[in-house]
Structure 1
Amino acid sequence: MPYIVTVKAGLVDVVLPGNIRVQGGESVRLTDAQFHQVTNSARAALFTSVQQVDVPISKEYVDTQDALLLPRAGGTVEGDLAVGGGLTVAGTEVSGTQAGDVGLRAWTFDPASITGGSSATVGTLFLCAVYLRRPTTVSGVWFALTSGASGLTAGQSFVGLYSASGVLLTSALLDSMLTGTTARQVAIAPQSLSAGTYWVALLVNATTAPNIASGEANSAIRNTVMNLGLSPSQYRYAVAGTGLTSLPSTITPPNNSSTGIQAFWFGLS
């Protein structure tokens, strides 16, 4: 924690750590590191008072050297935190490529981790979670085909976006978007979204389903590990119905299933 120190009256041009220059009678704030660079004997000679400052942990606190300070015991920064360099949390590097680095609002996972394509089983409502860390507006959904569909049933294939409570926020018809082998961007009605969890939904009806770029291909791993430790309402990947020809206006998240899930890659723009 930082300290507020008052320099003894009569002293002139006192230079403290961080090249902080003060005069007698003035008070100045020192970071914890700066304060402890001053020896005990020097403190006694220089300061008439020393006060340790309690930093509010629910707000940003920036010192004179533009360093973010939080109590050593921990705390929460509410709002945005911009880090210009690398960021390590509890020894783990967390400043790898993020969706915003490539112009997206969020994604299901880094597309560099795509391992191939998985079938979008006909009539099955697939859910794939995206996590928004801050409020934003989205107006498009990205996905990629590794093989196209054939015999599409007109008006029965959709991409959509569900809230964490299971409300369908928007959807778009995919009839012309499921052929070929390419990345697709589907326009959706712009949605102003708060921070939180959302599901991108995919429903396909065709004679032959397309294969969508995805992550883990082993179904046993998908069905057991992808949602490890999560309740159905929190599933990262889920199935929310079968035998469907349209997206329901609401789903019931506690009824989400982890059987038959696919780790499709989606990006929100």
Structure 2
Amino acid sequence: MTVLTAAEQLLGRTADVVLLDVRWALGRSDGRDQYLAGHLPGAVFVDLPTELAEGASPAAGRHPLPSVQRLQAAARRWGISAGSRVVVYDATGGLAAARAWWLLRWGGLAEVTILDGGLAAWTAAGGELHRGDVVRDPGDVRLTGGGMPVLTADEAAALPMAGGVLLDARAGERYRGDVEPVDPRAGHVPGAVSAPTTENLDPDGTFATAAVLTDRFAALGVRPGTTVGVYCGSGVTAAHQVAALAEVGIEAALWPGSWSQWSNDPDRPVATGP
């Protein structure tokens, strides 16, 4: 699976791809304003909370997966057609854009990659930015769903006991239960391994090399043939972890409900500490 596109590969070729700008961060609502102030030529803004998720609920989590029908309607609105090549990006090392990458792969689109290093890599490579909104002609893509593996809460909970590895992609302090700024309870799923998503990245916001990622995941108990599941707070940054694993040839299943679903169920056990 090809996961990444380097900025240098995209220079002079933005007209050949559908570019999706997915600028979003927890606790912020100015992604569209950032987009309007400067984006890659021809890029369409994607609103993560409304276009890459269904409405939040305690039972399903903060960012449940959209239906295939809703995702297809959005993809067509973004200008994606059968045979389109799509590149997604953000300004945070792919932490938000990976959600679009994962969803489109899950929907059945094969030619979708993450711009490695995002907006910063693009400008560092000499790429220009355009201001204002972009509306593309509607596309005709057909999505089917089922293109990427998914876990339920019960399946995620059972994974460590069955010999698999369940990675918690949140910051270490949230995993340990030191703090919990968003969800009802602090801690992690019993048996899960702390694997902060930010450690997939080099200081410049690009993905670490395949060799570094391979060593990182091996140290966490993940090797070729291991059954792997990933969760985070609400299924967003966990998609980045799935992308990093795919980059080194390891398939991982995403648990969309993640901690926001688990912590809302008082019957679910919670572990704390390192």
TM-score of the aligned structures, taking structure 1 as reference length: 0.23
More strand by share: 1
**Larger RCO, structures 1/2 (Cα 8 Å, 6+ apart):** 2
Q: Which has more radius of gyration?
A: 1
